[in-house]
Amino acid sequence: MKNIGSIIGFAIAGMFVMSVWGAFVEAYGIFGGWFAGLIIISIMWFMNHFLGLVANEGAFVDMAAGIAITGTLRDVFLKGVQAGIDSLPTLAFVAIGAAIGGITAVAVEKMWAERDAAISAKSKEISM
Amino acid sequence: MTFPKIIATMAGGFIFPFLIRLLWGKLVDNFGPIGGWLAAGFIVGTTWTLNHGVGLIYQSGAAWIDMAWAAFVGLFVASALSGDDVGKGIGMVINAILGGILGGFILYCLYV
């Protein structure tokens, strides 16, 4: 059930984002896109990650994985495999940027942790 | 894909998981679950305006590459780097692929 729940969570998040989001953009332009993020991602996050329909136990897989794959495969099903092949350069560079972003964020977290440890050590010194 | 588009696309990929990893948890710590609503609007919504609204992520083909790919890859790498179990994570990636096939197929049925 853990796996079935996770698959359902990924699929529902992907379906909302890859259909309703674009409709909001068509209707209201860039503000529609911002608003779609608010109304879709909020409740999908609450279901998938806060309550835990996506049962993450190991390295974290965001519901974004389901959204990303749904969007790309939707177009591969509709437009053919060549459409997917043509999109591989974008996918590759997004992934490279993302990996660097993730690595950098962990480095920033480490820096913040050291800063906070230094501050609390100092305040301990003063109180002694 | 020209060199400027490559730089723009990589920058778009960098920003999204960077913001999620550093800000989302803090928002939830500070505001409880409602922090997730703030994150949805001000991290995902606002980053969408940059990456897709004005188009920082260039689309080289007709199959949509969403910034969600960046959140997936970036957060997985960050999590693995901070010591979480990659093997168990791969199991969940397989679930994501199955969910993505299911979702993509249902939307194909909607639009075909």
Interface ipTM: 0.95
Contact A11 B100 (CB under 8 A): yes
Q: Which of A49, A51, A70 to mutate to test the interface with B (most CBs of B within 10 A)?
A: A70
H helix intervals, chain A = 2-17, 20-36, 42-45, 64-79, 81-86, 88-127
Give me the tens of pLDDT residue by residue for chain B, a chain 112 residues long: 899 999 999 999 999 999 999 999 999 999 999 999 999 999 999 999 999 999 999 999 999 999 999 999 999 999 999 999 999 999 999 999 999 999 999 999 999 9
Cβ count near A115 (within 10 Å): 10
DSSP 3-state of A120: helix
C-alpha distances in Å from residue A27, one per residue of A16, A35, A40, A105, A110:
16, 11, 16, 35, 43
Report pTM: 0.94
CA–CA separation, B36 and B31 (whole Å): 8
Report the number of secondary-structure helices (H) and strands (E) in chain B: 6, 0
Give the end-to-end CA distance of chain B in Å, rounded to a whole number: 29
The three-point CA angle B42-B60-A60 to 5° equals 45
> Domain segments of chain B: what residues?
3-81
| Other CB atoms within 10 Å distance of the CB of residue A36 | 24
Nearest chain A residue (CA) to B105? A74
Half-sphere exposure of B10 (CA within 13 A, CB side): 13
